[in-house]
Structure formats: structure tokens, C-alpha cells
């Protein structure tokens, strides 16, 4: 069975090549992150910590799916060396020095979830300090999160390389997420409109596709410059369509690179 580490002292007994940070409820998307981690070293730590700082909605925090036994199995089978399962006090032992997510922290996902990205950056920085890996792997599904983490690494000159991993989708192209378990079969059908829209790779066409599905409540749909996260202009080299919206009570996000990068 996989090794379970709970403290900074446990971690310090070994040197870690790669960290895969998660909040548990692991699925095939996380499995692929762990598999990608194997390209960057042999000692792979998967952290599982449901970070209260990034939940602006305490109900969401309370209802976050937990299944540690299944998580340990999945991490083991995917090829992780150890799972780091810290307590809250291990992560936040004293006064919390929050990382500022800047202006972008308040846009898109940040506009819907005040303080969310500051919470994400704060815990990710702390995990980097504790595990001290050479690499960390994050999924492209949370594209704004990935962008902000890369920006933080640059700003604080953290000695770590961030690896981006492609989004894993189900047979209907719905991006895998721990939240999908809260969707009924009928709601999943509605959610399929998201990829139908993105695969047009065009802002106007995507908007028209989404409008045809009245059960999908759009939050935002934007064409951004991948290198700055500003709105794309015609001369932008690397464009990406990003989208978020609700299917009943479940908030879903997704994105696609324009031109199939
Ligand atoms: O993407 C997630 O699961 C979380 O935001 C992360 C990066 C593990 C930080 O809590």
C-alpha cells in the first residue's frame, strides 16, 4: 500500500521530485496528472488537503466529497510514491500570510468566488515550501488557477517548474471534475453543451451554441490571450476560449486552446 505522510518531518525524510497537489476525491483527471508526473522524476508526492481558505461558501467546503481509502488506491495505482495528508494546523500553524492574487484574482472565476484565488495561491505556496519538489503538475482545466500559479512562481522566484497537464474528458467530452458526481444523467446531457460550444473555437459561434441550451446558465464566455489573460485581440498569437456556468446547482468551467495547441 502507498506510504501516507502527515507532517513536515515525515516529508523531510525524503527528497521529492514531483508534487501533485489535490483536494482529494481523485478521478481519472488526477490519475493522468500522476502519470505525467512520472516523466519528471521517481519520487512523486500527491497532497490531499481540502483547503478552507479557497472556499468562500462554507457549505461547499462542508459538502466537498471525501473518500480517502479510494484516493489512496487511485494514487497508488497511478504510480505515486506517497500521499501527503496534512492536518489544517500542519498547513497553517500560525498567522496566515495570504498571497495576493492581484487584479486577475478578481476576474472570471475570482469574480464569482471572492478570495478564492488568494486561498489557492496561499496553500500552493505553503505546499511547495513543505514538500520542496522540483516540479509540480496542475491541470489545464483550471486554466486561470494554472496561470496565477505560474505568475506566483515567477513573482517569488520559487525554485520549481510548473507542468501543465491537458484536460481529461469523459466519453461525451465533459471535462472531468469532482463536481461531476453531483450531476444527474439529465444534467450531464445539458452540460455537454459546454464542449459543443468550445469546439467551435469561435466566441460568437460558441455564444450562439450556449444560448440554444436554456438549462445552462452562462456565467462568462471569453476569448483570452493565454500569455497575459487579457481579452484577445485579432493579433493575439495564443488564444483560448474560457467558459463557466451553472447546470442547476453545479458550477462548471472549461476552456479550449484555439488552433488545437
Ligand atoms: O485544483 C485544486 O484541486 C486546488 O485548487 C489545489 C491546487 C489543490 C489547491 O488547493
Q: Is the CB of 21 under 6 A from ligand 1?
A: yes
Using the atom order of ligand 1, give the atom closest to the CA of residue 54: 10
3-165 CATH pick, 3.40.1190.10, 3.40.630.30, 3.40.50.620, 3.40.1790.10: 3.40.50.620
Domain ranges across the chain: 3-165, 178-252
Residue pair 255/198 in contact (Cβ under 8 Å)? The answer is yes
Strands of 44-48's sheet in order across: 3-5, 82-84, 44-48, 18-22, 135-139, 161-165
Convert the pLDDT of each residue in 175-230 to its tens digit: 999 999 999 999 999 999 999 999 999 999 999 999 999 999 999 999 999 999 99
Residue nearest to atom 6 of ligand 1 (CA): 22
Give the residue, by CA position, lying nearest to ligand 1 atom 5. 120
Cell digits for 36? 505525467
* pLDDT-derived band at 65, boundaries 50, 70, 90: confident
pLDDT in tens, 124-176: 999 999 999 999 999 999 999 999 999 999 999 999 999 999 999 999 999 99
Task: Give the integer Cα–Cα distance in Å for 127 and 136.
Answer: 10
CA distance 138 to 22: 9
Residue nearest ligand 1's atom 1 by CA: 22
- 198 within 8 A of 252, measured Cβ to Cβ: no
Return the best residue to mutate from 29, 51, 66, 165 for the ligand 1 pocket (most ligand atoms within 8 A of CB): 51
Only one residue has cell 481540502, namely 50
- Does any ligand 1 atom lie closer than 6 A to the CB of residue 142? yes
Q: Which candidate in 27, 30, 62, 116 is catalytic? A: 30
- Classify domain 178-252 by CATH number: 3.30.1300.10
- Inter-residue contact 247 to 190 (CB < 8 Å): yes
Amino acid at each position: 500500500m502507498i506510504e501516507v505522510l502527515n507532517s513536515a518531518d515525515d516529508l523531510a525524510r525524503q527528497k521529492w521530485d514531483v508534487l501533485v497537489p489535490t483536494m482529494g476525491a481523485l478521478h481519472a483527471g488526477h490519475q493522468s496528472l500522476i502519470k505525467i508526473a512520472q516523466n519528471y522524476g521517481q519520487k512523486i508526492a500527491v497532497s490531499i488537503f481540502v483547503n478552507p481558505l479557497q472556499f468562500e461558501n462554507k457549505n461547499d467546503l462542508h459538502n466537498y466529497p471525501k473518500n480517502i481509502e479510494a484516493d489512496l488506491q487511485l494514487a497508488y495505482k497511478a504510480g505515486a510514491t506517497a500521499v501527503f495528508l496534512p492536518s489544517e494546523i500542519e498547513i497553517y500553524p500560525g498567522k496566515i500570510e495570504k498571497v495576493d492574487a492581484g487584479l486577475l484574482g478578481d476576474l472570471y472565476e475570482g469574480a464569482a468566488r471572492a478570495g478564492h484565488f488568494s486561498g489557492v495561491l496561499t496553500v500552493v505556496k505553503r505546499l511547495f515550501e513543505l514538500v520542496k519538489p522540483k516540479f509540480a503538475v496542475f491541470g489545464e482545466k483550471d486554466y486561470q488557477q494554472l496561470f496565477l500559479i505560474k505568475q506566483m512562481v515567477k513573482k517569488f522566484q520559487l525554485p520549481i517548474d510548473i507542468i501543465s497537464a491537458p484536460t481529461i474528458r469523459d466519453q461525451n467530452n465533459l471535462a472531468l471534475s469532482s463536481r461531476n458526481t453531483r450531476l444527474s444523467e439529465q444534467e450531464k446531457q445539458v452540460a455537454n453543451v459546454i464542449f459543443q460550444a468550445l469546439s467551435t473555437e469561435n466566441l460568437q459561434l460558441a455564444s450562439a451554441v450556449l444560448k440554444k441550451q436554456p438549462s445552462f446558465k452562462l456565467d462568462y464566455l471569453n476569448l483570452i490571450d493565454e500569455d497575459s489573460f487579457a481579452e484577445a485581440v485579432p493579433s493575439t498569437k495564443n488564444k483560448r476560449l474560457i467558459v463557466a456556468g451553472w447546470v442547476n446547482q453545479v458550477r462548471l468551467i472549461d476552456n479550449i486552446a484555439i488552433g488545437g495547441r
